Structure 1
Amino acid sequence: MQSIDPAALSDKEIYKFFIGSIIPRPIAFVTSLTKENILNGAPFSFFNIVSSNPPILSIAVQRKEGVQKDTARNIQAQGEFVIHICDEENIIKINETAANLPSDKSEIDDAKLQPVESSKVSVPGIKEAKIRIECKVEKIITMKNDQGYPACDLILGRAVYFHISEALYQDGKINAQLLKPVSRMAGNDYSRLGETFTIKRPD
């Protein structure tokens, strides 16, 4: 087995190590509003559950040369956002939103996604998602690199409302086969749900 000290690697090498080994990664498609009320949308695969009580989700938004991305800046200013689960039916359009557009242009419009009004937050979601979760900011933690410069915004969002396609939700459980979630691999690769198996947890 090869042993590697991350201190000996460049930022790019560490990034490649992470995205090649932490797989598959769930993808959050996040909508947020600019101060000019423009609907922003972007996918993030540094995303996961933090806690169910309270209901907290996390999104890590990497900075570029210390500059916040639109999503992090919007969420910090507005305190609200919407997370959508990516699936086989919406991933092509969602991938289009990863293009680098000016802050005054909406990725939602560019990808021809359909906005839908939220119930408890001011930020709209998109109709194409089978699951969307309205969130309010619980906390934002700015992670600094070894030189002390801001490198990442870790956003903790409290879920305040769920929207789930009725066909997916049965007896309080979500049918993964009908959801058809898509997850991120390395490079330009994605993965489908694929084969599953069951292991009973010990008492």
Structure 2
Amino acid sequence: MTLSRVSGALILHYLTPIPRHVPPLRTPRTALTLHRRRDLTTTTTIAAAASTAKMSEKEIKRNPHPDFKKVEASRPDWDADQRFNYKKTADPSWTFGGGANGLQTPEAAAARHVSIDPYEAGRPAPFNYKLLISAIVPRPVGFVSTMSASRRDGKEDGAEGLNLAPFSYFNMVNHDPPLFVLGVASPLERPKDTLRNLLETRECVVNIISEHFVEAANATSVDAPAGVSEWAISGLTPAFDCVDTRAPRVREAVFAVECRLESVREFESRATPGKKTGCMVVLEGTRFWVREDAVNDERNLVAPEVLRPISRLGGITYGRVTEALELPRPVFERDVGGMEGYEKLKERRKERDDSNS
């Protein structure tokens, strides 16, 4: 492992190549603990890490409903019969250079945009968080299972040392090698359970949340004290059959990926210099798990009607995928008309701009 800084951020690089079949880690816990302490000491020396005050739910006001159960009771029941289906695009006759389709009203098109400085004086810290999670949507949710070093080394049993948590700062960033990014809102000096376990064991399982266990997955976000098992709170089933990791996958998940830690990058607040606000974790997938009724014969496509993934929106809102549209990727020569067609589009654009000026 090496340590470097990029624009004031600390990066921990795990440079040892990950073989195709990774054996379980068997490093003694004492060695792992010393290894981590050395990393954190270096972190403190280089960046003078400060403690991070965790934003409370009262500050964030994520839940806008004083009585959520009352509000929920007024809503229609879950439509279990709603099936995934395809629709036409809003404008099947759209042509290149056509701009936005007709869904936007004239009033919406004429509305002006406002500029927001994320660090303007008097702007409360939770505002950027609330704004971004409501605008960068829908977000896939990485449902991460980890195991503590002590559990891995046989010093704990049952549900002890197992952690399960959802992260909506999550996405895939590469396929060869399979790489995933995870955003964790805690510093290296005071890591959340998932981050601490990743630093100690360098392994996890990322599960994708489906409709049939969304309530259980959400339950794992509870602010439980240390030592409380999210597996017991959620009622989900740990499957200890992973090949490359000791951490269990979620048995109910249609799709899951065994992962090893590739790198960690810590970030410092721009509003409060010296304060560490979070980490970006890069994970490399070493093995995929998919339910047999969800994958095709070539094992290269997962059926959305079986996966039925859940996404994250703003506040306490989740989204389900029930409708989709398809759009072929265009070919420049065939569909645009090559450079000749492109020049015609440019001329049409100029004429339109001139008429609007």
Classify the TM-score, shorter chain: over 0.9
- Normalized per residue, the structure richer in strand is 1
2:145 pairs, out of 18, 21, 31, with 31
CA RMSD of aligned residues (A): 1.5
Partner of 2:317: 189
Partner of 2:228: 105
Shift of 1:103: 2.4
Partner of 1:116: 239
Listed as ranges, the matches of 1:12-27 within 5 Å are 12-27=126-141
How far apart, CA to CA, are the structure 1 residues paired with 2:207 and 2:293?
17
Partner of 1:144: 268
What secondary structure sits across from 1:36 in the alignment?
helix
How far apart, CA to CA, are the structure 2 residues paired with 1:149 and 1:67?
12
Partner of 2:70: none
What secondary structure sits across from 1:2 in the alignment?
coil
Segments of structure 2 that go 5 or more residues without pairing to the other structure are: 1-112, 152-160, 332-357
Question: What are the superposed Cα offsets for residues 30-89 of structure 1, whole Å, 9 maximum, x if unpaired?
Answer: 01112332110000100001111111001101028x732111111111100000000101
How far apart, CA to CA, are the structure 2 residues paired with 1:42 and 1:104?
14
Shift of 1:126: 1.5
**Length, aligned pairs only:** 203
Partner of 2:115: 3
Listed as ranges, the matches of 1:146-165 within 5 Å are 146=270, 147-165=273-291
Q: Which has the larger radius of gyration?
A: 2
Segments of structure 1 that go 5 or more residues without pairing to the other structure are: none
Instruction: Give TM-score scaled by structure 1 length.
Output: 0.95
What secondary structure sits across from 1:56 in the alignment?
strand
Partner of 1:41: 164
Shift of 1:102: 2.2
- Normalized per residue, the structure richer in helix is 2
Question: What are the superposed Cα offsets for residues 130-183 of structure 1, whole Å, 9 maximum, x if unpaired?
Answer: 111000001011111121222111110000010000111014211111110000
How far apart, CA to CA, are the structure 1 residues paired with 2:149 and 2:258?
19
Question: What are the superposed Cα offsets for residues 106-130 of structure 1, whole Å, 9 maximum, x if unpaired?
Answer: 1112212111111111111110111
Partner of 2:307: 179
1:155 maps to a residue whose letter is V
1:202 pairs, out of 330, 335, 343, with 330
| Fraction of identical pairs, as percent | 30
Instruction: Give TM-score scaled by structure 2 length.
Output: 0.55
Residues 1:166 and 2:292 aligned together = yes
